[in-house]
Each structure stands twice: as structure tokens, then as C-alpha cells.
Amino acid sequence: MSQSPIYDRLNQLGITLPPVAVPVAAYVPFVRSGNLVFLSGHIAKKDGKPWVGQLGRDIDTATGKAAARAIAIDLMGTLQAAVGDLGKITRIVKLMSLVNSTPDFTEQHLVTNGASELFAEVFGEAGAHARSAFGVAQVPMGACVEIDLVVEVQAED
């Protein structure tokens, strides 16, 4: 593993990156096109299983935010596999969050902050990103949150 300051920050935060999850449908975990890496949606997991629930019904905003943070850790594990070294990340470009929520729940943006704040903490200025946060009727496997990501990386040699 690289001696990049990124890994120092992860260690300070007590974060160990997980391996890439095996896709459960017809897709790949990531695709690189030029200097961009597109990560497929990752669902919230707790204890290795889908973190099931609906915001506004049986999950509160703070718990949803923790689920989004957990997804950010999984996304970094996939990024590690995609580029080999998180020090090669030049920018978190775009994050899209799908929050499994009731029709009257309006704090999707606060739930999504769980991922956004962690990326900023780990990557500094390069972690600031554009984003969208949507409330949806359902997420695969009943998960409470799903997030996908677009990242810019250094040019390949």
C-alpha cells in the first residue's frame, strides 16, 4: 500500500478498506474511461448484509448518514481496486445518492452528507464534489441508501 497521505488519514480514522464486492447482477464494479473512473452503485451494508430500511419510516436521518458513510468506505475499497493507489485520485467529481425514503421525508441531502463529509475528510480539497441526492421508493435488496461515484485519476503512464 502506498505511503500517500490518503492512507495516513484512513489510518487516523480507523478505516480499513474492504475488498471489492462481487456484483449481484449484470454489471461490473467500475469502468475506467480515460482519466475518469465510474463506480457502480454501492448499497449500504451492515455486518456484511444489506442495511435494510426506509428513511422516514424505520430509519432516522442520523442512522441514514451513518449508512452513507459506510458506503463511502466501500466505494474507496472499490477505488483502491480500480486504480491501485488512492494517491492517484485527483478529484472526486460527482456523487449520486439514492435514499430509500417515504414520500414525506425531505432530508436526503443530510443523509448523503455522510459520504460527502468523509470524502472531504480523506481527500481534502480533491474530495469536494458535485452531487445529487434523490428520494426513491425502493433501492435494490431493500437497502436504505445506494451511492455511485465518478472520480478523476492521474493519467496512466
pLDDT of residue 44: 97
Using a 10 angstrom Cβ sphere, with 0-12 exposed, 13-18 middle and 19 or more buried, the burial of residue 85 is middle
CATH code for the domain of 108 = 3.30.1330.40
Q: What is the pTM of this model?
A: 0.95
Mean pLDDT, 10 residues at a time, the chain of 157 residues: 80 94 88 97 95 97 98 97 95 98 98 98 97 97 98 89
pLDDT of residue 3: 67
Q: Which amino acid is at 120?
A: A
Alpha-carbon dihedral sign for residues 154, 31, 111, 22 = negative
Domain that includes residue 33, residue range: 5-16+29-153
Task: Please give the tally of structural domains in the chain.
Answer: 1
Q: Is 81 left (phi over 0), alpha (psi -120 to 50) or beta?
A: alpha
Cell of 127: 474530495
pLDDT of residue 73: 98
Whether 22 maps to a domain, the answer reads no
Whether 23 maps to a domain, the answer reads no
Whether 21 maps to a domain, the answer reads no
